[in-house]
């Protein structure tokens, strides 16, 4: 009985994190991006510096009609937002937040193959966008879908290689194990891996500067063109949930997770802090850099990131064996 209660509680906490953290990142994006562009961003909703802007957005999305185009592949089209969103919820289950006031590690479920599981779930998330692109019955969406496919193919490899390097160094695929095994000098040895993982993760999420599949100026949001109302909101939520998952994975794999002073008590806070920091970097990259052209996207993956990741794996092998 108490075990069932424990599972229920963990699920609720994960669900709560899943529903709030993307919104926090979204609000951070609103405000940080605005100030980076010398604006102030939302100021009216909620009274104090527009803190309720995303609530207002959510209400607006809920009021709108969800239209399915006549030419669309109905079931694929309607299923796509769920396929985009749910995997990130699933991924969050396996991501550890760290020791919680001496009560053990705060995590949905500690899996022996945690890293493998999370990476697999993240790849499924991208399939949602692909389905949206191919199922919309719209040429722009189709082009966007093809770009999503190309991007997925290109960036999965360096991402997995970089993650593998972290797993090799720790000697385990369990995310808790990897974060526990962290030592500060890893930051130096794993730096290329960190960069590759972060950049490849950005590309996987189709975040600017890797938003060639969405490209609002040329493909009118690509796979998302035909979506409206709650379905579109789910895609948006998936984007921000993806940022959270990517930031959390980067934190756990490369930044030591809960490593920091008083980790036994405040480990979870350290992890959250690092997640917020990495999310800020994701937002910063969006504001600072223009979109990569489609060929540049692939050149960066195959000519820069893949060799870099391979070099990182080689380096890690040498370090581990030595």
Return residues touching another protein (CB under 8 A): 32, 34-40, 43, 284, 287-289
Considering the complex, what minimum distance in angstroms separates the CB of residue 231 from another protein? 32
Residue 25 forms beta bridges with which residues? none
Per DSSP, which regions of 72-148 are E strands?
A: 98-99, 105-106
Considering the complex, what minimum distance in angstroms separates the CB of residue 311 from another protein? 17
- Long-range pairs for 55-58: beta carbons < 8 A, 24 or more residues apart: 57/233, 58/233
Nearer to another protein, 39 or 74 (CB): 39
Nearer to another protein, 100 or 280 (CB): 280
Nearer to another protein, 141 or 250 (CB): 250
Residue 253's closest CA among 118, 156, 103, 87?
118
- Paired tokens of 246: 């990517």
Considering the complex, what minimum distance in angstroms separates the CB of residue 32 from another protein? 7
Give 305's contacts (C-beta < 8 A, 6+ positions apart): 155, 158, 196, 199, 200
Cα–Cα distance for residue pair 79/96, rounded to 1 Å? 29
Cα–Cα distance for residue pair 214/206, rounded to 1 Å? 8
**Torsion from C-alpha of 83, 93, 255, 296, nearest 10 degrees:** -10
Considering the complex, what minimum distance in angstroms separates the CB of residue 304 from another protein? 11
114: phi > 0 → left, psi -120 to 50 → alpha, else beta; which? alpha
Cα–Cα distance for residue pair 57/234, rounded to 1 Å? 12
């Amino acid at each position: 009985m108490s075990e069932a209660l424990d599972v229920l509680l963990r699920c609720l906490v994960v669900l709560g994190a899943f529903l709030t953290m993307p919104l926090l990142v979204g609000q951070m994006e609103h405000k940080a991006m605005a100030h980076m562009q010398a604006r102030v961003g939302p100021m009216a909703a909620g009274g104090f510096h527009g803190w309720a802007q995303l609530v207002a957005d959510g209400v607006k999305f809920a009021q709108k009609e969800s239209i399915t185009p006549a030419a669309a592949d109905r079931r694929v089209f309607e299923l796509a937002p769920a396929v985009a969103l749910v995997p990130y919820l699933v991924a969050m289950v396996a991501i550890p937040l760290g020791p919680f006031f001496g009560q053990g590690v705060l995590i949905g479920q500690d899996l022996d193959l945690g890293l493998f599981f999370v990476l697999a779930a993240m790849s499924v998330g991208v399939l949602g966008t692909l389905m949206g692109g191919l199922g919309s019955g719209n040429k722009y969406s189709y082009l966007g879908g093809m770009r999503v496919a190309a991007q997925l193919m290109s960036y999965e490899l360096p991402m997995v290689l970089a993650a593998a390097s972290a797993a090799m160094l720790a000697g385990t695929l369990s995310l808790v194990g990897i974060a526990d095994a962290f030592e500060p000098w890893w930051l130096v040895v794993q730096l290329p891996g960190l960069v590759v993982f972060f950049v490849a993760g950005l590309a996987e999420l189709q975040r600017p500067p890797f938003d060639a599949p969405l490209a609002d100026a040329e493909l009118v949001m690509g796979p998302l063109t035909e979506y409206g109302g709650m379905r579109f909101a789910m895609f948006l939520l998936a984007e921000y949930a993806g940022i959270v998952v990517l930031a959390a994975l980067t934190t756990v794999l490369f930044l030591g997770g809960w490593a920091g002073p008083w980790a036994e008590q405040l480990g979870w806070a350290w992890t959250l802090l690092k997640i917020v920091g990495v999310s800020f970097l994701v937002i910063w990259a969006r504001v600072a850099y223009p979109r990569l052209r489609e060929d540049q996207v692939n050149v960066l993956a195959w000519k820069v990131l893949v060799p870099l990741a391979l070099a990182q794996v080689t380096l890690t092998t040498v370090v581990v064996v030595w």
